[in-house]
Amino acid sequence: MLRVYHGCGAVSRWVRQERGLAPKSIIRHLPIIRRFLREVCPAGTDDLGKIRQEDVIRYVERHARDGSAASGKAMCWSLRAFLRYLYLSGSTPLALADCVPSIRRWKLASLPTYLSVVQIQKVFDACDQTTALGRRDFTILMMLAKLGLRASEVATLTLDDIDWRSGTMLVHAKGRQQARMPMPPDVGAAIVAYLRDDRPASPCRRLFLRTVTPHVGFASGCAITMIAKAALKRAGISDCAHQGAHLFRHSLATELLRSGATLSQIGQLLRHKSHDTTRIYAKVDIEALRTLSLPWPGGVLKWTLSIGPPDRRSKL
């Protein structure tokens, strides 16, 4: 198995050099490759040349429904990259990447999962604010729910990103973009309390630090996602299809839409590059959609049967 992990390291270098992926993106694909190797190549690298098309197809069929359609597509992407690497490096004589099945995911087909205002307050109340850890997590949850920040954006915030005079913060967004965002008073108050009473002494400039030594920033946004999942579990919220930091982002967008904000305004706040990304939230306001719906044809037929001429009713 040690040799298998060395193989993953080689794949990481190849994907970074040939496909230009960032290290944080590569980390997400490695567990998929490791699980594939454990199941298909239990003897390690000696079995790489024995992988057949049937093995790949059966593996995808077994695990395609383990999560959402998005996770299934990510699994197939990782497998294609890995199998392409095996063929180009000469580890297998077959070009197996082309036999990885595709998983359909229709654009804008699903509804975004979101929390109500009452549920979000329940998550806040479940934080143990008698401890430094609880107050830190409360501040993180406030930034997720009130500003709609992504997990990685919270993890990478630094002390230098906060401009106290203007009441704004510099957010390091996706695609190496930066955005200056206003800081609501309640969020600012929570950050001040954390910095004054709970943030460990450390030369690290990250805003949020680990409570255990070494007192450094989080390695990635995965830690923020785990904090969000733990908070939802403490609050007893388990009926959401997706649980994590992004759930608070969806909840903010949904509440803004129901409060009268336009899709353009929501897209600007969430820093969406495409209007299509924001458009999915138009489907969550069910009451507004009902005003656009056409009368059900069955209702017209029932009206005809009840008030039409007697001879026509008998024929129908």
Q: Are 222 and 28 in contact (CB under 8 A)?
A: no
- Predicted local distance difference test score (pLDDT) of residue 134: 95
Categorize the per-residue pLDDT at 4 as very low, low, confident or very high, splitting at 50, 70 and 90. Answer: very low
What are the Cα distances from residue 64, in Å, to 77, 113, 302?
Answer: 12, 21, 45
- Predicted local distance difference test score (pLDDT) of residue 284: 61
Q: What is the mean pLDDT of the chain?
A: 81
- Predicted local distance difference test score (pLDDT) of residue 305: 44
Categorize the per-residue pLDDT at 17 as very low, low, confident or very high, splitting at 50, 70 and 90. Answer: low
In whole angstroms, give the CA distance from residue 198 to residue 193: 7
pTM (2 d.p.): 0.64
- Predicted local distance difference test score (pLDDT) of residue 296: 57
Between 307 and 238, where is the model more confident? 238
User: pLDDT, tens digit, for every residue of 197-208?
Assistant: 999 999 999 999
- Predicted local distance difference test score (pLDDT) of residue 253: 87
Which of the residues are catalytic? 150, 174, 246, 249, 272, 281
Between 159 and 73, where is the model more confident? 159
Categorize the per-residue pLDDT at 300 as very low, low, confident or very high, splitting at 50, 70 and 90. Answer: very low
Q: Are 244 and 225 in contact (CB under 8 A)?
A: yes
Categorize the per-residue pLDDT at 224 as very low, low, confident or very high, splitting at 50, 70 and 90. Answer: very high
CATH of domain 117-287: 1.10.443.10
Q: Per mean pLDDT, which range of 20-24, 145-149, 245-249 is the poorest?
A: 20-24
Q: Are 257 and 263 in contact (CB under 8 A)?
A: yes
Supply 247's token pair. Answer: 């759930």
- Predicted local distance difference test score (pLDDT) of residue 21: 62
Q: What angle do CA 111, 117, 119 make, to 5 degrees?
A: 85
Assign 254 to helix, strand or coil.
Answer: helix
CB-count burial class (<10 Å; 0-12, 13-18, 19+) for 36 = buried
Q: Where are the domains of the chain?
A: 2-99, 117-287
In whole angstroms, give the CA distance from residue 147 to residue 187: 9
User: pLDDT, tens digit, for every residue of 270-291?
Assistant: 888 777 677 776 666 655 555 5
- Predicted local distance difference test score (pLDDT) of residue 310: 47
In whole angstroms, give the CA distance from residue 225 to residue 231: 10
